[in-house]
Each structure stands twice: as structure tokens, then as C-alpha cells.
Chain A
Amino acid sequence: MPIQYYLFLSMALFCIGIMGTLMRRNAIIILMCIEMMLNAVNLLLVAFSKMYNDPSAQIFVFFIMVVAAAEVAVGLAIIVMMYRKVHSVDINILNRLKH
């Protein structure tokens, strides 16, 4: 398989993640889209690891997974708290940064 195929596949997944982030207002879906984008990057790293026959890239995938897991834990905690306060997960309600 040419490396480009993997490149395009992971770019496609990444861009779908971006579209999702922009289109949806549900904070949980947005968080999921971000997970999808991280996965796209992981896939590309593994492809390059294979290409250069180097395990370092796979180690990086590990670390990305670590960060993703931590991020999800904190992110979901924030969403739960927000839901408790405003009874919604709509990010458009979260415009308090303005004030």
C-alpha cells in the first residue's frame, strides 16, 4: 500500500472530526470528535512507524492515548458539572467567557 493512502485516510478522519466539531453543539459529541481526530493522528504515526521501521512512533501513540484518556476524564467531568448547573450540554450556552 502506498503511504499516501494512509495519509489520505487519516486526513479524511481528521477533517470529519473537524466538521463534527464545527457542526454539532453537543459538548459530548465535540469531545468525541476530538477523540476521532487524535485517532487519525495515531493511525498516521503507526503508518510512518512501519515505513521507517522504527518503534518510537508507536511509543508516541501510547503517549497520545495517555493524554487522550486524561483529557476525556477531565472533559467529561467538566461536562457533568456544567450539566448540573445549566441542565444542558449546548456549548452555545457557554458564552460566559465574554463577560
Chain B
Amino acid sequence: MTNLVYLVPLFPLIGFLINGIGWRKMPKSAGGAIGSIAILASFIVSLGIFFEVKSTGATTIVHLFDFIQSGKLYIPFSFQVDALSSLFLLIITGIGFLIHVYSTSYMHDDEGMVKYFAFLNLFVFSMLLLVLGANYLIMFIGWEGVGLCSYLLIGFWFKNRDYTNAAKKAFIMNRIGDLGFLVGMLMILFHFGTLTYADFFNNLHNSDVAISNNMYNWIAICLFIGAMGKSAQIPLYTWLPDAMAGPTPVSALIHAATMVTAGIYMIARSSALYNLAPLAQNLVGIIGLATAILAASIAIKQYDIKKVLAYSTVSQLGFMFLALGMGAYTTAVFHVMTHAFFKALLFLGSGSVIHAMGGEQDIRKMGGLNKHMRITGITFLIGCLAIAGIPGFSGFFSKDEILAATYAHSPVMYYLALGAALMTAFYMFRLYFLTFTGSFRGTEEQHHHLHESPAAMTIPLIVLAFFAIVGGYVGLPPVISEHHSLNSFLRSVVSNFGEHELSHATEWMLMGLSSGLVIITIIIAYAVNKKPNFAPNTGLAKTLENKWYVDELYDAVIVNPLQKLSGLLDRFAERMGIDGLVNGVGKIVRWGSDRVRLLQSGQVGFYIFVMVIGMTLLFAISFFWIQ
């Protein structure tokens, strides 16, 4: 089965080609069906691969063809199938498939539905390439591919200028990160002469390649900058909330299954490197923690249903990076998995709400939707419970693991992370209470329009809700079960670093503390939002509503000076310097040829004369100068 791994990215590629070539002509339902079936086929192959890897535990390299071969540089186009990549395959194709099915209904009224599915398939294809590649270059191809697709999909409704600006912002922010990744990659190539994971990780401990500890740190930091861009960490996170401009299923795809998890995957894949680079590892942890707190605090005061979820994604990604920084790579992957379930669920649920509200996204105009949309309401509640970390739901297990690893590392960071987790519970339940309970605050027309979404949208919700509950049971904490199946599955590929064994008492205490505080927070959220009050915010709340003014800060510090400089360069360097140079060359050539033209007298004798002179000169030069 692992030999068939090339089929996994091949199906979405075929789907993309069919939909992409025929998007003007094809009927909408055919486009949706092709897109969904392509992903379903990949998912089935992925399942087979996953269970084979699970039973054998072997790492297989599938060599497809030689990609670059030049001197000592040899980069094959090959796929690496192991525990980590097969797990990601399942997440991507599984959740991707559900999102595709959901999209067939959600996008049904859109003109460019077939084009949309083409992009969606390309997105999944790029992500699969990213995950499957057996070297950094293949990963980079997928890396750039998801960047491109996110640009295309965020700006899918390109007639709206704000949306295209959001798309450009996402693309440019990603490019900044990509540069870091590229530099890191070149540094690896320079020092180790290879980009293949297996060779690189073996050489890390090899005494032949003696490089300083500093170099490990630099490489790791450069790769982390790439991860920052792709996985929306401080300071490159501002694109992700703006990425809400795209259709809601796209947000679900970006936030849950693809794209933002790429950074986590990359660092987990490079865990051997990060284990040798303590400085970079600490940086990862600190940035992750800071992002988690900052984004959670912003989410508290947002009114756009998708913005809240977007900031919650940024915050959850922060948690994952915190886990990576603690050396608990498998925990981060665990959280990627559970987060994929409940975040896809939440986004698709919000999509269902927006669908029902006729495009309205402001939660101030919602309320009481539970009465009209039972399935959406219940599944959304399950998602909230999961993300808040209520015991028994998937989010609890992964988040608790992160918190435990953090506590073992540093209690101060633990309390900060716990604060962020409590904020998560608060804003998620604020969102839930404002949207689904209370009385309806929208217009009369919207009230009549309210309806439960069709089956194509609710079935994915139900499936995801199921996994949002049970997804956590693959990684039970040691106090409950000695057997952590995810950890033992990943152990062959990802090596955790500096694992601290906490005593069972401490662990029970931590779990109890966080669970208790979360439940209290939910009660507070209920109390605060029972009688919603939307008076204009002041003070700190206003700062939070305006996202700590980070966008304004970036505008003032980076964007505006850059634009001024560009304007200046345009006026002077471009118009006067380069244009002058180019036009000047043209003018000189014209002037010169006007003069030289006179040589063309048409006199054959003169031509022969010039030819002889030239011959003589050539002889003279070749005989006397060159020797």
C-alpha cells in the first residue's frame, strides 16, 4: 500500500486539472462531485497507508524520479511515508473531504463553484505534497503551493477590493516567512550538502560535519521564521484573521486541515534539529506562548463570528508552538489533530450560521439560533466544549498534555498558558451564548429566513462533532492510562526532548485546577452575556476590540514608510534614473545609427576595401597581440 502513496496527491491533482480546465463549461454539481470524489479516493488510500504504517511502524521512502541532479547536489522527487506523514495524510484528506462535501452545498449559489473546487483540490494537493516530501525542497514546493492557493481562495470573491487586499496580505506575510525557510534550507544545503530528511538527521550527530551549536540555532530559527509566516505566529499572524475574507469552508480548510498546520509539521519533522538548538527551541516556546495570550485576548472583544474563530486559531496555534518549544513534539501533533476536528467543526458550524443568516457575520445581530438550528447548535456546543477543554472532550486531553509539559518546564509559563486557556473558554462561550441563546437581535426578514442547513452541511458537522469528542482518546494522560497510543505511534519518527515525568498527584492537581477554572470561566461567560450589552467599548476593551492596534502599528512602522520610500524611488530612481537610462540608450542608438547609416553607400568597392582593412586588423591582432 505504501508503494501507492503517489496516488494520494495524484487524485486531487487530477481533480484540479479537470475542474481547472473545464471550469467555464462544467455544470456545478459535476465540479463538486469530481472535487469531492478525488479527495475521497485520496482518503481511502491514506487510510490503507495509515493502517499499514501502524502495523509495521516502518519508514518507507518512495522514490518517484530524480528531480535535481547537478554536481554534488542530488535531490530526488521522493515521498516519505512514516507515522508522522501518514497521520497528517489522514487529517488532511479526511477533514478535507468533509469540507469538500460541505462546500458542495455552501457554494451552490456561487458563479465560480467549479473554479472554487479546482482551487480547493490544488490546495489539498499542495498540502499533501508538503507532508509527503522526503526532503525540504519537496516540502517547500508544497509550502509555496498552499501559499498560492490561500491567496487564490481568500481572494476568491475578487470583485471586492477588501478581499483582494486580504489575499495580498496573506500572500506577502507568507512570503516573508518563506524567505526565512528558504534561507534555512540553503544553510542546511551549504553545511550538510543534502536536503533529504534521513541524510540530514543522520548527519546532525555525525562528527564529520562539525558545525557550531550556533549554526544549529540559526538554521532552526530560520526554519521557525518560515513556520511563523505559515502558522500565523507573532509577528506574522495578522494575515490569518484577515483571511476570513474567503468563503467559510476555505477558512475551515486553512485553519483546520491545511496551511497553518504546515509550520507545526515542519518543526515536528525537524525535531532532531530543534533538540540540538536549545535557543531556537526556547524562542519557539516563548513566541508560541505570547501568541496564545495575545490572540486569545483579542478574541474576547471581537464581534465578527469568523474573526473570533480566527483569533482562536491563532491562539491554539500558539499553544502548539508552546508544546513544540517544550520539546513535546508529539503533544503538538496531538493538538493539531484534535484542533483540526473541533476547529473544522466550529468553522463549518459558523458557516452554517452565516448561511442561515443570509451572509450576516456580526454576532450582535444574532442570538437564540438554537431554536431554529438544532443540529448546528448542538454540534457547535460540542466544538466549544472541546476547545475550552472540558474533561471528556478531545481538546481537554491535548491541551492538558501541553499544560503538563509546560508545567514541567517552567511553572511561570504554565500559569500564563493557563490564563490563555481560560480566555479561550471565555471567548468561545461568549460566542456560543451570544449566537445560540437568548433572543434574536437581527431584522425581521432575517428571522423568517432562519433555517437548518441541508444535509450536505449538517452531516459533516455531525461527523466532526463525533471526532471532536472521541479524538482525544488516542492520547490519554499517563494518570489514566499507561498506554499513550499516539505517542507510541509517533515515537519511531519524532523524538520528544527532555521529557519530565510529573508525579501522578501533580498531574491530577493540574487537571483538576484547569478543569475547575474552565468551568468557572464558562459560568462567568454565561453571567456576563446573559443580558448582552453592546455599548461602545472603552479603555482596555477598546484596545482589544482594535486588536491591540497591531495592524495600525504595522501600517505606521512598516507599510507607510515603505510606501513613501517606494513613491520616492518611483519618482527619482525609476522615472529619472532607469527611464532616463533606457530612453537614453534608445536615443543614442538612433542618433548613432543616423550617422553610421551614411557608411552604407552601396559602393561595392568601398565594401571590399573595408573588408580588407578588417581582415588585416584581425590578422594583426591574432598574430601579434594574442601571442
Q: B601 to A22, Cβ gap below 8 A?
A: no
Cβ–Cβ < 8 Å partners of A92 in chain B? 603-605
In the complex, A95 Cα to B607 Cα: how many Å?
11
Whether B602 and A22, one on each chain, are in contact in the complex, defined by CB atoms closer than 8 angstroms, is: no
* Contact between chains at B602 and A91 (CB < 8 Å): no
A22 contacts B604, CB within 8 Å? no
Q: Which residues of B contact A1 (CB under 8 A)?
A: none
**If A18-B612, A22-B609, A22-B612 touch, does A94 touch B600 (CB 8 Å cutoff)?**
no
A40 and B93 alpha carbons, distance in the complex (Å): 82
* A91:B612 contact, CB within 8 angstroms: no
Q: Digit string of B583-610 for contact with A (CB within 8 Å is 1, else 0)? A: 0000000000000000011111100110
Contact B605 A22 (CB under 8 A): yes
A84 in contact (CB, < 8 A): no
With a CB–CB cut-off of 8 A, which chain A residues contact B612?
A: 18, 22
Rounded to whole Å, the gap between the CB of B618 and the closest CB of chain A is 14
Interface of A is mostly: helix
In the complex, chain A residues 85-99 whose Cβ is within 8 Å of any chain B Cβ? 91-92, 94-99
Chain B residue at minimum C-beta to C-beta distance from A22: B609
A residues 22-59 near B (Cβ < 8 Å) are 22, 25
Partner of B602, one of A18, A21, A25, A99: A99
Asked if B601 contacts A95 (CB within 8 A), the reply is yes
B-side contacts of A18, CB under 8 Å: 612
Name which residue of chain A comes closest to B603, CB basis: A95
Quote the shortest CB–CB distance from B382 to chain A (angstroms). 89
How many interface contacts (CB-CB < 8 Å) are there between A and B? 24
Closest B residue, CB atoms, query A97: B602
Instruction: Please determine whether B608 and A95 come into contact, CB atoms closer than 8 angstroms.
Output: no
Interface contact B600-A25, CB-CB below 8 Å: no
Q: Report yes or no: B604 in contact with A94, Cβ–Cβ below 8 A.
A: yes
Q: Is the CB of B601 within 8 A of A91?
A: no
Q: Give Cα A72–Cα B608 distance, bound, in whole angstroms.
A: 18
Interface size class of B (residues with CB under 8 A): under 10
* Residue contact A21 to B608, C-beta cutoff 8 Å: yes
Q: Are A98 and B605 in contact (CB under 8 A)?
A: no
CA distance A92 to B601 in the complex (A): 10
**Is B608 touching A98 in the complex (CB atoms < 8 A)?**
no
Contact residue range for chain A? 10 to 19
Closest chain-B Cβ to A95's Cβ sits at a distance in Å of 3
Q: Which of A25, A96, A97 is within 8 Å of B605, CB to CB? A: A25
Mark interface residues in A67-79 (1 if CB within 8 Å of B CB, else 0): 0000000000000
Q: Is the CB of A91 within 8 A of B605?
A: yes
Most buried by A among B601, B604, B608, B609: B604
- Tell me which residues across on chain B come within 8 A of A96, comparing CB atoms: 602
**Set of chain B residues within 8 Å of A91, measured between Cβ atoms:** 604-605
Interface residues of B in 607-627 (CB under 8 A from A): 608-609, 612
Contacts of B602 in A (CB 8 A): 95-99
Residues of B within 8 A of A25 (CB): 605
Chain A nearest CB: distance from B370 CB in Å? 92
A95 to B604, CA, bound (A): 7
- Docked Cα-Cα span, A25 to B604, in Å, equals 10
- Judging by beta carbons under 8 Å apart, are B604 and A98 in contact? no
| Minimum CB–CB distance for A98 against chain B, Å | 3
Name the residue in B600, B603, B605, B608 with the highest tally of chain A Cβ atoms < 10 Å from its Cβ.
B605
Smallest Cβ-Cβ distance to B615: which chain A residue? A18
How far apart are the CA atoms of A22 and B606 in the complex, in Å? 8
In the bound complex, residues from chain A placing their C-beta under 8 Å from that of B609 are 22
Closest to A94 in B: B604
CA A18 to CA B613, docked complex, whole Å: 11
Q: How far is the CB of A20 from chain B (nearest CB, A)?
A: 11
Give the distance to chain B from A23, nearest Cβ to Cβ, in Å. 9
- Nearest-Cβ distance from residue B610 to partner chain A, whole angstroms: 10
* Residue of chain B at shortest CB distance from A99: B602
B604 contact set on A, CB distance < 8 A: 91-92, 94-95, 97
CB distance from B612 to the nearest CB of A (A): 6
- In the complex, A95 Cα to B601 Cα: how many Å? 7
Considering the chains assembled together, what is the distance between the CA atoms of A97 and B605 in angstroms? 13
Nearest chain-B residue to A95 (Cβ)?
B602
- Give the chain B neighbours of A21 by CB distance below 8 A: 608
Bound state CA distance, A54 and B434, in angstroms? 103
Tell me the bound Cα distance from A92 to B604 in angstroms: 7
0/1 string, A7-22, CB within 8 A of B gives 1 = 0000000000010011
**Complex Cα gap A30–B78 (Å):** 70
In the complex, which residues of chain A have a beta carbon less than 8 angstroms from the beta carbon of B600?
98
User: Roughly how many angstroms separate A80 CA and B601 CA in the complex, as a whole number?
Assistant: 24
Q: How far is the CA of A18 from the CA of B619 in the complex (A)?
A: 15
> What residue of chain A has the Cβ atom nearest to residue B612's Cβ?
A18
A22 touches B608 (CB 8 A): yes
Nearest CB of chain A from residue B20's CB, rounded to whole Å: 55
- Binary A-proximity of B443-472 (CB < 8 A = 1, otherwise 0): 000000000000000000000000000000
**How far in angstroms is the closest Cβ of chain B from A26?**
11
In the complex, how many angstroms separate the beta carbon of A34 from the nearest chain B beta carbon? 10
- A95 to B608, alpha carbons, bound, how many Å? 13
A68 to chain B, nearest CB (A): 18
Tell me the bound Cα distance from A94 to B608 in angstroms.
14
C-alpha gap A91/B604 in the complex (Å): 7
In the A-B complex, the 8 residue pairs with the smallest Cβ-Cβ separation, listed nearest first, are: A98-B602, A95-B602, A97-B602, A91-B604, A95-B603, A22-B609, A21-B608, A18-B612
* Chain A residues proximal to chain B, CB less than 8 Å: 18, 21-22, 25, 91-92, 94-99
- Interface residues, chain B, with chain A CB atoms under 8 Å away: 600-605, 608-609, 612
Show 16 residue pairs from A and B whose CB-CB distance is below 8 angstroms, ordered by the A residue: A18-B612, A22-B605, A22-B609, A22-B612, A25-B605, A91-B604, A91-B605, A92-B603, A95-B601, A95-B603, A95-B604, A96-B602, A97-B602, A98-B600, A98-B601, A99-B602
Given contacts A21-B608, A22-B605, A94-B604, 9 further A-B pairs with CB under 8 A are: A18-B612, A22-B608, A25-B605, A92-B604, A97-B602, A97-B604, A98-B600, A98-B602, A99-B602
